[in-house]
Chain A
Amino acid sequence: MISSSPTPSSTDPTAVDAVVAPPADAAPAAADPRRELWRRLRANRPAFAATVLIGVLVVLGIAGAPLAAKITGHPPNQQYTRALDAQGVPIGPGQRTYKADSTTPDPHGDLFLLGADRLGRDQFVRVLYGLRVSLAVSVGATLLALIVGVALGIVAGFFGGAPDAVISRLIETAIAFPSLLLGIGLAVALGAGVLNVIIVMAVFGWYYPARIIRTATITVRGLPYMEAATAVGATVPRLLRHHVLPQLTAPILIYGTSMIASNILFEAGLSYLGLGIPPPTATWGQMLSDAVASNFYRLDPWLALVPGVALVFVVLAFNVLGDGLRDALDPHGEHL
């Protein structure tokens, strides 16, 4: 908002602040935007539930996995040979390991809450460790993609001209390529590993946020207050930091949330194909792949259900949160 105060000297760097700061005797300031966001989110029950679920998942991923390993006494990669019968079929949820004959259940054997996988490892503990990997990799890849995408989008949208032309062509070219196939190719070339997976996912994730941010920046760039700020001598860094970026928070948050969801699936897909995090690290994609190999899930559906259901819940939670954030950050949304 442009103040009605006299126009200050254009050489005075503090003049901009004086222009935009409301006078001391003006009406009380609007509610804290963060508190307003939280209020709106809470009012949206599915989004709130998703937020709580994600919070719980983060806690589970950070602390729950090692706690589960400690309580059950089953490290995530420990193979229990007696958790498989003589034909290699793992025990199911709530079952105990076999005696030495691999046929007779042992009433005093180790209890497996969600059963064992094909190598006799505890599925309950591994699904929690897999959650860690999924969250860490997807959040890491999303952050990296956003840093690159937002930076390029801002440059293209703010400066226009040649930078915009170059970056826009880069975006269009990147979008034209089949990301999944190329992602698989790049994963093969780089090899397995957490960092490599993050790089692959970021390389094929930066261009959509770049396009969105570019459009948003162009919109903000055209607002009257930007023109005013420029007129009173605001530098480019100041404009970007104080006037452009705050306006981009909403799209960054919204898109970032749904990007985490799609990256969780991307990572699971790469792991399923054997191109993600190398074994024996627990990942949901690898757990699914093991279940499907040789059709073992037909003998023991829990092999696929445990990681599959976990994946569904987490992806759903992030998607619902993304939708909720979109509604909550909508400036035209009703005051609830």
Chain B
Amino acid sequence: MRRGGIRGAAAAWRRPTGSIGLALIVALAALVVAGCGGKSSPSTAKADAKSGSAAKPGGTITIGFYHDGYWDSIDPAMAYGLSTWEVTRQLCVPLVNYPNYGGAKGNDLVPAVAASMPEISSDGLTYTFTIRPNLKFSNGAPLTAKDVKYTFYRLFKLNPDAADIFSAVKGTDKVVAGKAKSVSGITVAGDQLTFHLSQPNGGFLQALSLQFTCPVPDGTPVKQTETGKIPGNGPYMTQSYQPGRQLVMVRNPNFDTALGPKGNADKIVFDLALDQSQALQKIKLGEIDLTFDGLPAADAQAALTDPTLKGRVFSSTSPTMTYVWLNNDVPPFDNAKVRQAINYAVDRTQIAKVVGGASAARATDQILPPALAGDSPKVYPLTPDLAKAKQLMQESGVPTPVKQTLDAPSINGEPQIAQVIQANLQKIGIDLKLNVGSATVLSAASAKRTSKRPAGFSSWTQDYPDAGDWLPLLDPRFVENGGQKARFHEASLTPTFEAIEKESGEKRQTDYQHLATKIMTEYAPWIPLFDTVVTTATSKRVGGYEWQAQVGLPVLTSLYVK
């Protein structure tokens, strides 16, 4: 999420068994973080065992969403945010999915609308799925291969950015350009659906798990629909929707449990007008049962030590990493040694504290999130090594003190983080002036290809668990379209990027890990700061909280009213 630019094609990729271990590490990390918080158990079963309750169907669950949080669209073709993906995950299920289970059970990519994982040709250019029989949409209409084919046509017409993700599928560009009425690279033969790629794409299967690809009935209007009434195949369907106020879902009577768990609650109410400052209080009063977004840092800390919330506070690492990009075209950040020096000087541990401690952030020096970084070595220390930083500054040949500017959006505590960085870099002779301003304005200014904005904040939330979803942010081939804010244009790495794209399996992940380590060690175009930790709490009346680590979302179908 928050991507830009044209993605290159990649090789066919089957989910390697090694990544199960990686995913387990994420789940374990979540347990450790929650344990460090001291007072909460992330294990729902444990909590429920203590309370003596068991999952049972029925009742209504209310989920709070912050009114000033991110919310773009509930049209599956347009939704591109964790919040709206949480909504669409209840309304629809794609061809393949990370299912609605927490822990290890939700770590694997499994067939959903597809009856089984696809047959992939030896050259990685065709993926053939068999659509599960007897599936229906919420309106009772049968769900067929034709509907899935049409879904992709509608997606590419409505959402060119999403089309970019699937650019390897033949005919995508013609649909985007308005020159075709269907995607020529997707063929249907009975219940068989085949994707024909122009070149191997190692992340293609993972990309098919995106909510963008949720099937819609053939002939659904090709226009953004915000009623929530597009028939879906998920465990729930929309009953009513008032934008900015409330969205109510009820059970989908035509949901096929072969697609995943059907959910315990009969009704889910999304309160879309929640004020952050009231979230914890409302949970305690039982007015809402869960906040989708994490509690504000201070409230998260208070919740972790509140005896009345024992067993109901949960901390989980989200696959979101916040970093500072350094414009490789602007001095002194055009000097690799300076960038390395900066990475040695920044106090990531202090920054994680300022953000809110273990309940809000996990300091990191890695491009990839914990689940994908695997055994990647530490490149930079989490606390400053000033001696090394000063040595690198000397080696860089850049005379100090040197002045530059850091853009800091006035949101999410970034001005405070910027001040820590400013104080850190002052010690190595870099005087940063802070340009605090609107996130929208700063983001737009730095997105232009010709932008000379020197440095700024950004974050990336994983779309799907593949290192190939992260590294394109630093792909030299994508500098021209303005999406790559660091302007990292080390052309010598282009062949490496091109080669790894075509790989699959564990080799793909391992090679991406090595590439990420090499980029940070030798070039350091970014200052990775922290992975986001989401701490939330449930009300007394509900149990069954689980965290889907691969998509970074709470599992709503596991929640139940006690």
Q: Give 1 or 0 for each of B296-323: 1 = CB within 8 Å of chain A CB.
A: 1111011000000000000000000000
Cβ–Cβ contact A88 & B299, under 8 A:
no
Cβ–Cβ contact A88 & B353, under 8 A:
yes
Interchain CA distance A192-B407 in the complex, whole Å: 12
Cβ–Cβ contact A279 & B297, under 8 A:
no
Cβ–Cβ contact B354 & A87, under 8 A:
no
- Decide yes or no: A88 and B435 within 8 Å by CB, A81-B350, A119-B416, A294-B413 being known contacts: no
Which of A159-167, A295-303, A323-331 lies at the binding interface? Answer: A295-303
Residues of A within 8 A of B353 (CB): 81, 84, 86-88, 102
Interchain CA distance A102-B420 in the complex, whole Å: 17
How close is A30's CB to chain B, nearest CB, in angstroms? 55
Cβ–Cβ contact A81 & B359, under 8 A:
no
Residues of B within 8 A of A298 (CB): 298-299, 302
Cβ–Cβ contact B413 & A293, under 8 A:
yes
Residues of A within 8 A of B296 (CB): 294-295
Cβ–Cβ contact A299 & B298, under 8 A:
yes
Cβ–Cβ contact A118 & B437, under 8 A:
no
Let me know if A262 is at the binding interface, CB within 8 A.
no
Let me know if B356 is at the binding interface, CB within 8 A.
yes
- Decide yes or no: A295 and B299 within 8 Å by CB, A88-B354, A278-B434 being known contacts: yes
Interchain CA distance A200-B220 in the complex, whole Å: 52
Q: Give 1 or 0 for each of B419-446: 1 = CB within 8 Å of chain A CB.
A: 1101100000000011111100100000
Residues of A within 8 A of B350 (CB): 79, 81, 84
Residues of A within 8 A of B433 (CB): 278
Cβ–Cβ contact B434 & A87, under 8 A:
no
Interchain CA distance A84-B357 in the complex, whole Å: 10
Let me know if A280 is at the binding interface, CB within 8 A.
yes
Let me know if A77 is at the binding interface, CB within 8 A.
yes
Cβ–Cβ contact A188 & B297, under 8 A:
no
Residues of A within 8 A of B436 (CB): 192, 274, 278-279
Let me know if B240 is at the binding interface, CB within 8 A.
no
Q: Return the contact of A88 from the options B302, B357, B423 (Cβ within 8 A).
A: B357
Chain A interface: which size bin? 20 to 34
Residues of A within 8 A of B438 (CB): 188
Question: In the complex, what residue of chain B is closest to A298 when comparing beta carbons?
Answer: B298
Cβ–Cβ contact A118 & B354, under 8 A:
yes
Cβ–Cβ contact B416 & A290, under 8 A:
yes
Question: In the complex, what residue of chain A is closest to B276 when comparing beta carbons?
Answer: A295
Let me know if B355 is at the binding interface, CB within 8 A.
yes
How many cross-chain pairs have Cβ atoms below 8 Å apart between A and B? 90
Cβ–Cβ contact B297 & A294, under 8 A:
yes
Cβ–Cβ contact B434 & A279, under 8 A:
yes
Cβ–Cβ contact A88 & B434, under 8 A:
no
How close is A54's CB to chain B, nearest CB, in angstroms? 31
Interchain CA distance A119-B416 in the complex, whole Å: 7
Let me know if A248 is at the binding interface, CB within 8 A.
no
Cβ–Cβ contact B410 & A273, under 8 A:
yes
The residues in A between 184 and 207 inclusive whose CB is less than 8 angstroms from any CB of B are: 188, 191-192
The residues in A between 271 and 308 inclusive whose CB is less than 8 angstroms from any CB of B are: 273-274, 278-280, 290, 293-299
Interface centre among B354, B355, B410 (most CB of A within 10 A): B354
Cβ–Cβ contact B356 & A294, under 8 A:
yes
- Decide yes or no: A79 and B420 within 8 Å by CB, A87-B358, A87-B359 being known contacts: yes
Question: In the complex, what residue of chain A is closest to B441 when comparing beta carbons?
Answer: A188
Question: In the complex, what residue of chain B is closest to A192 when comparing beta carbons?
Answer: B436
Let me know if A89 is at the binding interface, CB within 8 A.
yes
Let me know if B277 is at the binding interface, CB within 8 A.
yes
How close is B294's CB to chain A, nearest CB, in angstroms? 10
Residues of A within 8 A of B356 (CB): 87-88, 294
Interchain CA distance A87-B349 in the complex, whole Å: 11
Cβ–Cβ contact A84 & B418, under 8 A:
no
Let me know if B347 is at the binding interface, CB within 8 A.
yes
Interchain CA distance A79-B421 in the complex, whole Å: 11
Residues of A within 8 A of B423 (CB): 77-79, 119, 280
Q: Return the contact of B416 from the options A86, A89, A118, A295 (Cβ within 8 A).
A: A118
- Decide yes or no: A278 and B354 within 8 Å by CB, A79-B420, A294-B413, A295-B297 being known contacts: no
Residues of B within 8 A of A119 (CB): 354, 416, 419-420, 423
Let me know if B415 is at the binding interface, CB within 8 A.
yes
Residues of A within 8 A of B441 (CB): 188
The residues in A between 176 and 227 inclusive whose CB is less than 8 angstroms from any CB of B are: 188, 191-192
Question: In the complex, what residue of chain B is closest to A276 when comparing beta carbons?
Answer: B436
Cβ–Cβ contact B301 & A87, under 8 A:
yes
The residues in A between 40 and 83 inclusive whose CB is less than 8 angstroms from any CB of B are: 77-79, 81
The residues in B between 396 and 425 inclusive whose CB is less than 8 angstroms from any CB of A are: 410, 413, 415-416, 418-420, 422-423
Question: In the complex, what residue of chain A is closest to B352 when comparing beta carbons?
Answer: A88
Question: In the complex, what residue of chain A is closest to B422 when comparing beta carbons?
Answer: A280
Cβ–Cβ contact A192 & B435, under 8 A:
yes
How close is A103's CB to chain B, nearest CB, in angstroms? 12
Question: In the complex, what residue of chain A is closest to B355 when comparing beta carbons?
Answer: A88
Question: In the complex, what residue of chain A is closest to B408 when comparing beta carbons?
Answer: A279
Cβ–Cβ contact B355 & A279, under 8 A:
no
Interchain CA distance A126-B350 in the complex, whole Å: 20
Interchain CA distance A263-B299 in the complex, whole Å: 33
Interface centre among B350, B360, B441 (most CB of A within 10 A): B350
Question: In the complex, what residue of chain B is closest to A300 when comparing beta carbons?
Answer: B298
How close is B38's CB to chain A, nearest CB, in angstroms? 10
Q: Return the contact of B437 from the options A81, A188, A279 (Cβ within 8 A).
A: A188
The residues in A between 147 and 172 inclusive whose CB is less than 8 angstroms from any CB of B are: none
Interchain CA distance A79-B200 in the complex, whole Å: 51
Interchain CA distance A296-B350 in the complex, whole Å: 16
How close is A244's CB to chain B, nearest CB, in angstroms? 45
Q: Return the contact of B418 from the options A78, A85, A279, A299 (Cβ within 8 A).
A: A279
The residues in B between 437 and 480 inclusive whose CB is less than 8 angstroms from any CB of A are: 437-438, 441
How close is A257's CB to chain B, nearest CB, in angstroms? 31
Interface centre among B301, B355, B360 (most CB of A within 10 A): B301
User: Can you sample 16 A-B contacts with CB below 8 Å?
Assistant: A79-B420, A81-B347, A86-B353, A86-B358, A87-B301, A89-B301, A102-B353, A119-B354, A119-B416, A119-B423, A192-B435, A278-B433, A278-B435, A279-B434, A293-B413, A299-B298
Give 6 nearest A-B pairs by CB, closest first. Answer: A87-B357, A274-B410, A88-B353, A294-B297, A295-B298, A295-B296
Q: Write the residues of chain B forming the contact surface with A, with a CB cutoff of 8 angstroms.
A: 276-277, 296-299, 301-302, 347, 350, 352-360, 410, 413, 415-416, 418-420, 422-423, 433-438, 441
Known A86-B353, A87-B301, A87-B358; further 6 A-B contacts with Cβ < 8 A: A78-B423, A87-B359, A191-B435, A279-B434, A280-B419, A298-B302
Q: Write the residues of chain A forming the contact surface with B, with a CB cutoff of 8 angstroms.
A: 77-79, 81, 84-89, 102, 118-119, 188, 191-192, 273-274, 278-280, 290, 293-299
